[in-house]
Amino acid sequence: MRQRAPILILLVVAAVSVSGCASGMRSLIDQQNVQIQEMQARVDQVNQQDEAEAQELEAIRRDISQIGMKVTQTEEMIGDLSRKTENVSTRLSLLTEEVTRIKQDPVARPPVTEQGVVLFGEAPAASSGNTRAIYDNGLRLYHGETPQETREAIAEFTRVVQADPTGDWADNAEYWIGECYYKLEEFDPALAAFQRVFNHQGSNKFEDAQLKIGMTYRLMDRRTEAIAALQELIQKYPNSQHIELARQILAEIGG
């Protein structure tokens, strides 16, 4: 019986040790569970933030899409306005020539179409000595609907310049060569032709040519030169019929 006492004591000590160890382990496990819960809470928070950011990103994408549509609509409106502006400038040039013709010869007034564009009818057979006939035929061809007619108009106006480089119709012919190339969207030769108008002293096409130089630069994406040309028109020709049109274009291109 005396030998069993030490064994019982050892068993009791071992049980207490195991119990203490288990208690420590439970405490460690509880701590780890708390840490897991905290980490899970952080994960949930991050997920919520990601979801909110995803929703915000989607909203931004929708806004960008809507803005893109508005930009496209604005560009289409600007394109329409530009085409109207080009038509206005050309018609003003034609009407100016019509007024000049009426003053020179009130009886021989050329007909006007239903659209209000002056046409000059079939010109007489052109010859190197009849620059007026060649010029009128060039205008008739300019109003044609095909690129071929426009190129034939260039040939006629070129003949006017070659036949009488310092004559009354040479400066106008240079201007309409520019208009023909402008119509064909060949802007380098158009610009060169408009600039050649200023080689003719006292031309009545200076204002028209200056306006079209600015418009041509704009279509060539040469904004700085376009602004300079249009501002020069306003400064040099303050009473020009093109002033309002020049200001309108300047407003469009931020000048």
Q: Which is nearest to 139 in space by CA: 105, 95, 104?
A: 95
Q: Provide the pLDDT for residue 37.
A: 87
Local confidence band at 21 (pLDDT 50, 70, 90 cut-offs): low
Is the pTM higher than 0.95? The answer reads no
Q: Provide the pLDDT for residue 93.
A: 72
Distances in whole angstroms, Cα of residue 100 to Cα of each of 146, 176, 232 = 28, 16, 25
- Determine the Cα angle at 151 with ends 79 and 229, to 5°: 45
Question: What DSSP state is assigned to residue 201?
Answer: T
Higher-scoring residue by pLDDT: 43, 137: 137
Local confidence band at 7 (pLDDT 50, 70, 90 cut-offs): low
Q: Please state, as a whole number, how many other Cβ atoms lie within 10 Å of the Cβ of residue 41.
A: 10
Torsional class of 230: left (φ above 0), alpha (ψ -120 to 50), beta (otherwise): alpha
Q: Provide the pLDDT for residue 86.
A: 58
Question: What DSSP state is assigned to residue 126?
Answer: P
Crossing angle, helix 187-196 and helix 170-183, to 10 degrees? 160
Find the mean pLDDT for residues 98-112: 51
108 vs 119: CA distance, rounded Å: 13
In single-letter form, the type of residue at position 254 comes to G
Structure tokens at 136: 């009128």
| CB-CB contact of 216 with 184 (8 Å) | no
For a pLDDT cut of 90, what percent of the chain falls above it? Answer: 47
pLDDT of residue 38 exceeding 50? yes
Q: Provide the pLDDT for residue 121.
A: 42
pLDDT of residue 241 exceeding 70? yes
Q: Which is nearest to 110 in space by CA: 140, 88, 90, 138?
A: 140
Q: Provide the pLDDT for residue 183.
A: 97
Supply φ then ψ for residue 200, to 5 degrees.
-105, 110
Could you give all domains of the chain from N- to C-terminal order, each with its CATH number?
A: 87-253 (1.25.40.10)
Higher-scoring residue by pLDDT: 56, 221: 221
CB burial readout 224-238, b (16+ within 10 A) else e: eebbebbeebbeebe
Higher-scoring residue by pLDDT: 1, 215: 215
Higher-scoring residue by pLDDT: 150, 111: 150
